[in-house]
Amino acid sequence: AVEFYNGLSWQPLTNSITDQQITPDGINQTFTLDQSTTAVGIIVSINGTLQSPGSGAYSVSTNQITFAEIPFTFFFLC
């Protein structure tokens, strides 16, 4: 197992990759994430365009992601 030393003891290094898709409602710009993270700990794609951490497009605090602009909802008419 891979471990790291935190200055006091050896700790197991565990990472998990999850996929979470947010469905915007056209009103809210803050959404709850499945787990706590940081802005550099996630990959954010808006309509297929990757957003860089620190770009101002979003911010993350524990398990909340806040977008700079309210994400739009999309309606497809046939």
Q: For position 27, what pLDDT does the model report?
A: 92
Instruction: Give the predicted TM-score (pTM) of the model.
Output: 0.72
**For residue 67, what are its two tokens?**
């977008």
The predicted-structure confidence for 8-54, as pLDDT tens digits, reads as follows 999 887 777 788 999 899 899 999 999 899 998 899 988 788 899 98
Q: What CA–CA distances, in Å, run from 72 to 24, 34, 75? A: 6, 21, 10
Placement of tokens 């398990």 in the chain: 63
Q: How many CB atoms lie within 10 A of CB 59?
A: 15
Structural contact between residues 26 and 73, judged by C-beta atoms closer than 8 angstroms: yes
Q: For position 78, what pLDDT does the model report?
A: 42
Q: Evaluate if residue 77 carries a pLDDT over 80.
A: no
Structural contact between residues 59 and 39, judged by C-beta atoms closer than 8 angstroms: yes
Q: Evaluate if residue 74 carries a pLDDT over 70.
A: no
